[in-house]
Amino acid sequence: MLQENQILDVEIIDLNHMGKGVAKSDNLVIFVDDVIPGDIAKIKITEIKKNYALGELITIIKPSENRIDSACGFFEQCGGCQLMHMNYEEQLKYKRERVINELKRAGVNTEEVTVNDTLGMKTPFRYRNKTTFSVTEKNNDIFIGPYEQGTYNTVDISGCLIQSREADEVVNLFKNLMIKYKIDAYDKMTGKGIVRNIIIRNNRNNELMIVIVTTIENFKNKEELIDNLVSINSNIKTVIQNINNKNTNLVMGRKNKVLYGQGTINDTIDDLSFVISPEAFFQVNPEQTEKLYQTAIQYADINKDEVCFDIYCGIGTISLMAAKYAKKVYGVEIVEQAVVDARANALNNNIHNVEFFAGKAEEVVPKLYKQKIKADVVIVDPPRKGCEKPVIDTIINMSPKKVVYVSCNPSTLARDIKLLEEGGYKLIKAQPVDMFPWTVHVECIVQIKRAETRMK
C-alpha cells in the first residue's frame, strides 16, 4: 500500500485533461505535475485519496524522448501553460488522442469516423491577441502577470511567449508608470488599492485596446497616467477604464468609461471585419481561428436554399461567414451586447440574410422551432459545459441534415454527440485544431449527419 511521503520511481504513462502526468503503483493512479508520458521519475507521494494519489516530482531519472527544455523562464510557477516541456509535435498528437479517447469513453461509435491530425501552427509562439493580467501589491512592489498554477497569486513576469510583443511592452510601460505616478495596485486580502487588472487586446495591424480595471473611478494622477501611456506607445488606439469594486474573481465589473479613443478596435477574419468591444468574446488565436472557421464552413457544406442556425454565436463571426453560402442564418447568443455587436457587424459587412436573437439557447432554440423556424444545417459553438439538453433535444426534433459542433472541451463534445447519436445522428469526421499551443486546451470541430435510416 502506498503511504504519504513515500518516495518511489514511476513511469509516466499518460497525461490527464489538466496536464498532470499519470503513473500507476499498487493499482492506484498517481497524478504528478511537471512530467510527461515516457518520463521515468522519482516522486514523493503528497496525498492519498480514495481513488487516486497525488505526487510531487523530485527528479527525472530518465527523460521521455519528447521532453524539451521550456522556452519560457516562468513556466514552473505560471498557471498559463502546462506543456512547455513537451515537444510541439507530441502536443498535437496528444490533443488528437484526447478527442478519440473521450469519444470512446462516452460510447460514441467511432468505427467509421475519421479523426484528422490536429491542425497545428508553424510557429506556435506570440499567437494571442488578448492578455488578461492581474495587478497586485506585494512587499511594496507591483506584480503584473498571470496567476500561479492553482492559486490567485500573481506571477510577476516581464514577458510572455504566447502573447504579442506589443503586449509585453505595454505591461512593462504600465508598471513603470504606476510606480512613477504612485498608483496603488489592488490587494486582494485587504481589499485596498486601485488597479486590479490590465487587459490588452491587439488586432492584426497591432493596434491596441487597453482596459484598466480599477476599484474606484477617480484617483490621483489618472489623466497623467493615460496621457503618458498613449503618448509613449502610439500603437494604443483606445483606453477603457472598467470599474470593479466587488470582492470577486470575475475580472470585469459592469461600468466602462472610455478614457481615450473610440472604445473599440476593429479586426478581420477572412474578408469580414468585426468591431471588438471590451467585453466581446473574440477567438484569441487569429491564425488558427481562420482554420477553425474555414473547417466549420466546409463541414457545414451549406447551399443557397438552406437555412442555418449558429447557436452560441458570440459577435456573429461564424454566422457572417456562413451567410455567404446560406439562404438565411439565425444566430443565438446569451450576451446582449454581443448580439448588438453581431447586428452591427452584419450591417458593416453588408450582410442582410442574418438575424440574431439574444437569450439562452435552451429557451430561444425551442421557441424558434415552435414558431416553425427550422434549420437544414445547425452549427453550435458552446462554452466548456457543452450544449444544454433542450438544445440537443430540439435539434433532434428539428431534424437538420447536418450538425457541425465546434467544441473547446472534448468531454462535453463526446457526451453531446452520444445524445445526438441516440436521436438518429451519426458522427462522420472530426478535426482537432490547436488554438492554444503549450496549453492542454483542445479545440475540435466535428461533422455529424442525420443517419440514412432516419431520413424523412
Distance, CA of 98 to CA of 237 (rounded, Å) = 40
Residue 28 near ligand SAH by CB under 6 A: no
Residue 48 near ligand SAH by CB under 6 A: no
Residue 312 near ligand SAH by CB under 6 A: yes
Residue 314 near ligand SAH by CB under 6 A: yes
The CA–CA distances, whole Å, from 104 to 2, 97, 99, 363, 410 equal 31, 11, 9, 31, 11
Sign of the dihedral through C-alpha 247, 77, 11, 437:
positive
- The single-letter DSSP state of residue 452 is G
CB of 316 to ligand SAH, least distance (A): 8
Residue 284 near ligand SAH by CB under 6 A: no
Residue 340 near ligand SAH by CB under 6 A: no
Residue 107 near ligand SAH by CB under 6 A: no
Instruction: Respond yes or no: is residue 444 known to be catalytic.
Output: no
Among 72, 78, 81, 408, the one annotated catalytic: 408
Residue 251 near ligand SAH by CB under 6 A: no
What H or E segment, with its residue span, contains residue 200? strand 195-202
Residue 281 near ligand SAH by CB under 6 A: yes
Sign of the dihedral through C-alpha 173, 161, 205, 290:
negative
- Do 247 and 203 form a contact (C-beta atoms < 8 A)? no
Residue 285 near ligand SAH by CB under 6 A: no
Q: Is 186 helix (H, G, I), strand (E, B) or coil?
A: strand
Q: What is the dihedral of CA 280, 285, 291, 292, to 10 degrees?
A: -50
Residue 346 near ligand SAH by CB under 6 A: no
Residue 299 cell numbers, joined: 463541414
Of 92, 108, 313, 404, the one binding ligand SAH by CB under 6 A: 313
Distance, CA of 297 to CA of 107 (rounded, Å) = 27
Residue 32 near ligand SAH by CB under 6 A: no
- Binding-site residue total for ligand SAH (CB under 6 A)? 18
- 366/424 with CB nearer ligand SAH: 366
- Residue 216 CB neighbour total at 10 angstroms: 11
- 337/353 with CB nearer ligand SAH: 337
Distance, CA of 443 to CA of 146 (rounded, Å) = 22
Region from 2-10, 83-91, 135-143, 379-387 binding ligand SAH, contact rule CB under 6 A: 379-387
Of 318, 323, 433, 444, the one binding ligand SAH by CB under 6 A: 318
Distance, CA of 312 to CA of 301 (rounded, Å) = 19
Residues marked as catalytic = 408
Site residues (CB under 6 A) for ligand SAH?
281, 283, 312-314, 317-318, 332-335, 338, 360-362, 381-383
